[in-house]
Amino acid sequence: MLIDALLDFVQGLVAKLGAQIASLVPPVPAWVSDAAGMIRTVMGYATALGNWVPLTIFAVVVGSVVVCLVAGLSIKVARIVTSFATLGGGSAG
């Protein structure tokens, strides 16, 4: 009986504290809830920019850089693994 009263008191205290904290939190801005609309707007601006900036060339250049970075990283990892296989004889660091 005493434990039930204590649990009811703690539950009421937590509920009141939660209500007070909820009243302090500001509402979510409209631009957060409409993220898809913002993305559509940015993509619309980006496609309109394609008339002045050759985006296909940028895509090819960025793709080439990414491929070169992945190739370099895989070569580095292969050298490190090979260094472990030779018990540190060929330091790849």
Tokens, residue 56? 């296909």
Q: Tell me the pLDDT tens digit for each residue of 51-68.
A: 787 878 888 999 999 999
Write down the residue that tokens 């296989």 correspond to: 85
CA dist., res. 69 & res. 62, Å (int): 11
pTM of the entire structure?
0.41
Summarised one tens digit per residue, pLDDT across range 2-43 is: 888 888 899 999 999 888 888 888 887 777 778 888 888 888
